[in-house]
Amino acid sequence: MTTLAVIILAAGQGTRMQSKKQKILHDVGGRPMVAHVFETALSVADRPPLLVVGPGDKGVHQLFGDRAEYVVQAEQLGTGHATRMAESILRGGFDQVLVTYGDMPLLRVESLSRLAQIQAESNAAVAILTVMGDLSSTFGRVIRDESGRVTEIIEVAEARRRPNGEELLAVAEHNAGVYCFAAEWLWDHLPELPVRQARTGPEYYLTDMIALAVAQGRLVATLTIADADESLGAGTRSELVAVEKAFRRRANERWLAAGVTLIDPETIYIDQTVIIGRDTTIWPNTFLQGDTTIGEDCCLGPNSIVRNSLIGRGCRIEQAVVEGSILNDGSEIHPFNHLMGQQATARNAKP
């Protein structure tokens, strides 16, 4: 049986966010982006995820405490260099090392598990997650030879410098940025990464491990994910909007399949931590947030907020705010009420 360790790259500051807060700490679905990635990694790894953080990090440590392990990347020298920081902790203890980014909150457990399985069964040096995209994508292109074997991953900037740049950019298969390596091969060859000149100085790119594997005649395996949303990351506020919308779509689809009626899903916001009973109906402009549980046969909204509350069966909340409260079965909160830190019954909930 193979053993798997997961590295989450969490040292980038995300300066394009124009924020005092590190980009991976911005919320999606009511939780920091990196928290979603962490929980997914925790489900597939054989040890607590290892987070590569920047010097002086406080936010990531405060978020996970002793649930995770940490290693510091003192200098921002690229993804290859960040991965190498984990060698002293992981080398010799695991058969596989999966590397992903802290700003990809839509990754599924099933995808990471399948990627690790493909690497183990094929004995590939590395298995990479790919996604089908279009010409406008900034993801690197996955280049294959006539037999279908991966020969390289070429970044967009590099593709544009080549004579056949337009042909390369038209390649539909893109690198999603998630890798599962044969552990010993990874540690043996990381020092061989070439130095690249980036905008901010020299960097070592993890994608160059693909070229090293090909040069050695080692297999580079792939898993193409059907749900392109899994590959979404957020380095800017605009990208954060796209990730949030994708997260909401997924959450709404899950509740529809579970027997909850959403009158207008695009205007309804349900945090990941919320639990909803069957045959509950949710009307437009309703927000369910935090540690909230909704019983069966309720009617919520329109224009309502329920936050960190326990709502019984058959309750009705219309154009009202309920937070930090408990509603017993059959309770009604009428329009323009704000219930905070209370326990309500069917009799005393009405104004």
Query: Which one from 16, 149, 237, 347 is the annotated catalytic residue?
Result: 16
Q: Reduced to 3 states, what is the DSSP secondary structure of residue 238?
A: helix
- The angle, 0 to 180 degrees and rounded to 10, between the axes of the packed helices 109-122 and 33-44 is 40
C-alpha distance from residue 198 to each of 76, 77, 144, 159, 205 (Å): 11, 9, 26, 15, 10
316 token code pair: 């009705």
> CA-to-CA distance for 30 and 247, rounded, in angstroms?
10
Please tell me the number of Cα atoms within 13 Å of 291 on its side-chain side: 3
Cα separation values, 163 from 83, 113, 158, 160, 333, Å: 32, 38, 10, 8, 67
Query: What's the count of helices (H) and strands (E) in the chain, helices before strands?
Result: 10, 28
Q: Distances from the Cα of 217 to the Cαs of 23, 124, 177, 212, in angstroms?
A: 38, 10, 22, 9
Helix (H, G, I), strand (E, B) or coil at 39: helix
A 10 A CB-CB count for 177 gives 23
Cα(315)–Cα(295) distance, integer angstroms: 8
Give the 3-state secondary structure of residue 192: helix
| Cβ–Cβ < 8 Å for 193, 211 | no
The answer to whether the CB of 178 falls within 8 A of the CB of 98 is yes
Which residue reads 């949710």 in tokens?
282
Active-site residue flag, 16: yes
CA angle in degrees (0–180, nearest 5) for 69-71-73 = 155
Residues labelled as active-site residues = 16
